[in-house]
């Protein structure tokens, strides 16, 4: 891909947009960045961009800025139905995302992992297994480090393990993973994609460019995920925590097993009891990682040792501390209803649940039966509070907390020894926080400030 002297516009100054702008500039492109936020909101980012010779447009998108470009690179946080993007696409101008741009320069093989829930844990675990096996391993993507920042370290003998989101997959064209994984597809980001069907279609794009020499790992218990098997040219492997399967990883009795091909003998990998992560959903994440690792040639012994040594990822059902016999867990990454249900299902009961944030057109009534069984009190926060309270009224005791601080204080006052205080909000964080990580850190600090 030749970029020298090309006029390239980067839309959106998130982490990946900034990385893309600097990369493009280093490749000799004439780069402009455009963001809907004003200059005050971007005062930390603008000086370094200007120093690098990158033109900056803030406070909205100028259509002429878009139309004068040879290439447009869109950050994941920018919707593709932004009016200016719709117009230039209609004019036939090339529009790609940061993932697609990076994939054209990234050396070595790619393992790409997507799903509504579990992406970060699975991506991190696969990376740890590969490193334990002595493989040259890079980890990035939606997990926090933009893919474009891996290019300089990549080599032909390296494997890049990437967490990829539906937002990133919307704009892929030539992105070609060696092994791709779809963990699950449940309603999420419907405010962005418009429908569940559109969202599922975006996830399925992970395998569009895969061929007969590639592998696709799918969840054998997730109907929407199963549908992708008929849309790929790759070799399909499955994982299931509920039943034996013909090709892939599964739980049988108290063991995780792997079958390399249909008709082959199942190979024991590790006892389920050695998985250090809480919750049935994390068993599924481990099964997916086992599939990937065995397909990549990692031995069962190395996989077992790496899984045993693995620690819960920050903000994913992360144990914070115990205060007066009450356990506090941070699952700020539970940004949709399905993730929250999986977090709640990880505990037998006695749960004080903090819910709320920015709504994503979610249906909170899906949680009703589970909350009735296991949750003592729901504490609502953020702009989605009123909708949550309306949809779950009469199901469980509810308290309108408004802020995280009030929610933690109220839960701490009400909980008794043996109870669990769980942050699993079922919403995005952008109404009150910078991102889910910021929300989780605030929760953790509030918990650490509680008096023993």
Q: Which CATH number do you get for residue 196?
A: 3.40.1190.10
Instruction: Note whether 325 and 369 are same-domain residues.
Output: yes
Segments forming the whole domain that contains residue 366 = 318-448
Inter-residue contact 6 to 29 (CB < 8 Å): yes
The count of other CB atoms within 10 Å of the CB of residue 327 is: 18
Q: Tens of pLDDT along the chain (452 residues)?
A: 899 999 999 999 988 999 999 999 999 999 999 999 999 989 999 999 999 999 999 998 888 889 899 999 999 888 888 888 999 999 899 999 999 999 999 999 999 999 998 999 999 999 999 999 999 999 999 887 999 999 999 999 999 999 999 999 999 999 999 999 999 998 777 777 789 999 999 999 999 999 999 999 999 999 999 999 999 999 999 999 999 999 999 999 999 999 999 999 999 999 999 999 888 889 999 999 999 999 999 999 999 999 999 987 888 899 999 999 999 999 999 999 999 999 999 999 999 999 999 999 999 999 999 999 999 999 999 999 999 999 999 999 999 999 999 999 999 999 999 999 999 999 999 899 989 999 999 999 999 999 98
Please pick, among 15, 109, 119, 278, the residue that the annotation labels catalytic. 119
How far is residue 183 from each of residues 117, 124, 298, measured CA to CA in Å?
A: 7, 14, 20
Instruction: Note whether 323 and 287 are same-domain residues.
Output: no
Query: CA 102, 217, 156: angle at the middle one, nearest 5?
Result: 40
- Distance (Å, whole) CA 302 – CA 131: 10
Domain limit, last residue, from 309, 338, 361: 309
Instruction: Note whether 61 and 196 are same-domain residues.
Output: no
| Of 60, 52, 63, residue with least CA distance to 35 | 60
Please pick, among 15, 189, 333, 360, the residue that the annotation labels catalytic. 189
Is 128 inside a domain boundary?
yes
Is 1 inside a domain boundary?
no
| Of 38, 41, 45, 42, residue with least CA distance to 60 | 38
Burial of 452 (C-beta count, 10 Å sphere; 0-12/13-18/19+) = exposed
Is 358 inside a domain boundary?
yes
Residues facing 113 on adjacent strands: 163, 181
Is 405 inside a domain boundary?
yes
Inter-residue contact 423 to 354 (CB < 8 Å): yes
- Distance (Å, whole) CA 398 – CA 386: 11
Domain limit, last residue, from 93, 114, 132: 93
Q: What was the pLDDT predicted at 69?
A: 94
Domain limit, last residue, from 263, 285, 309: 309
Burial of 106 (C-beta count, 10 Å sphere; 0-12/13-18/19+) = buried
* Residue 293 tokens, joined: 């690792």
Domain containing residue 358: CATH number: 3.90.190.20
Instruction: Note whether 89 and 146 are same-domain residues.
Output: no
Q: What was the pLDDT predicted at 313?
A: 80
Question: In 3-state terms, what secondary structure has residue 294?
Answer: helix
Instruction: Note whether 104 and 174 are same-domain residues.
Output: yes
Whether 189 is a known active-site residue: answer yes
- Distance (Å, whole) CA 445 – CA 443: 5
Is 2 inside a domain boundary?
no
Instruction: Note whether 89 and 136 are same-domain residues.
Output: no
pTM as predicted: 0.82
Instruction: Note whether 46 and 72 are same-domain residues.
Output: yes
- Distance (Å, whole) CA 215 – CA 159: 14
Q: What was the pLDDT predicted at 246?
A: 94
How far is residue 347 from each of residues 212, 317, 380, 418, measured CA to CA in Å?
A: 42, 11, 20, 11
- Distance (Å, whole) CA 125 – CA 307: 7
Instruction: Note whether 137 and 207 are same-domain residues.
Output: yes
Whether 142 is a known active-site residue: answer yes
- Distance (Å, whole) CA 239 – CA 219: 5
| Of 205, 185, 182, 207, residue with least CA distance to 196 | 185
Instruction: Note whether 285 and 334 are same-domain residues.
Output: no
Is 78 inside a domain boundary?
yes
Please pick, among 142, 285, 330, 336, the residue that the annotation labels catalytic. 142
Instruction: Note whether 244 and 283 are same-domain residues.
Output: yes
Instruction: Note whether 297 and 339 are same-domain residues.
Output: no
Instruction: Note whether 249 and 109 are same-domain residues.
Output: yes
- Distance (Å, whole) CA 373 – CA 370: 5
Domain containing residue 47: CATH number: 3.40.50.720
As for how many domains the chain has, the answer is 3
Whether 372 is a known active-site residue: answer no
* Residue 435 tokens, joined: 């991102």
């Amino acid at each position: 891909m030749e970029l020298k002297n090309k006029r390239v516009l980067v839309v959106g100054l998130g982490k990946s947009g900034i990385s893309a702008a600097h990369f493009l500039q280093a490749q000799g492109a004439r780069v402009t960045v455009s963001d809907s936020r004003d200059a005050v909101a971007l005062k930390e980012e603008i000086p370094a961009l200007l120093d690098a010779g990158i033109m900056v447009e803030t406070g909205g998108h100028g259509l002429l800025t878009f139309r004068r470009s040879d290439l447009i690179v869109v950050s994941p946080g920018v919707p593709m139905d932004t009016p200016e993007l719709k117009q230039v696409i209609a004019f036939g101008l090339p529009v790609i995302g940061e993932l697609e741009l990076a994939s054209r320069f990234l050396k070595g093989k790619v393992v790409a992992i997507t799903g509504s829930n579990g992406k970060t844990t699975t991506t991190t675990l696969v990376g740890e297994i590969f490193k334990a096996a002595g493989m040259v391993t890079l980890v990035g993507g939606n997990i926090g480090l933009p893919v474009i920042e891996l290019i300089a370290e990549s080599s032909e003998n390296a494997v890049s393990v990437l967490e990829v989101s539906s937002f990133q997959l919307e704009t892929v064209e030539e992105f070609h993973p060696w092994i791709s994984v779809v963990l699950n597809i449940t309603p999420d980001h419907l405010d962005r994609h418009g429908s569940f069907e559109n969202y599922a279609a975006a996830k399925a794009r992970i395998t569009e460019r895969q061929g007969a020499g590639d592998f696709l790992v799918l969840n054998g218990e997730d109907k929407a995920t199963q549908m992708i098997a008929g849309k790929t040219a790759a070799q399909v492997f499955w994982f299931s925590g509920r039943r034996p399967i013909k090709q892939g990883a599964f739980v049988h009795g108290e063991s995780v097993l792997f079958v390399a091909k249909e008709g082959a003998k199942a190979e024991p990998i590790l006892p389920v009891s050695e998985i250090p992560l809480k919750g049935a959903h994390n068993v599924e994440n481990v099964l997916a990682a086992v599939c990937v690792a065995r397909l990549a040639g990692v031995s069962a012994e190395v996989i077992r040792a790496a899984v045993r040594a693995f620690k819960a990822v920050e903000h994913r059902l992360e144990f914070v501390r115990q205060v007066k016999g009450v356990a506090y867990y941070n699952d700020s990454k539970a940004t949709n209803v399905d993730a929250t249900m999986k977090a709640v299902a990880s505990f037998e009961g006695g749960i004080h649940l903090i819910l709320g944030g920015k709504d994503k057109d979610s249906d909170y009534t899906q949680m009703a039966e589970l909350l009735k069984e296991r949750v003592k009190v729901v504490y609502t926060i953020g702009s989605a509070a009123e909708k949550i309270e309306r949809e779950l009224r009469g199901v469980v005791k509810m308290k309108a907390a408004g802020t995280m601080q009030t929610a933690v204080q109220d839960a701490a006052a009400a909980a008794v020894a043996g109870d669990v205080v769980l942050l699993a909000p079922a919403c995005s964080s952008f109404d009150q926080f910078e991102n889910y990580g910021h929300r989780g850190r605030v929760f953790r600090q509030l918990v650490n400030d509680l008096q023993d």
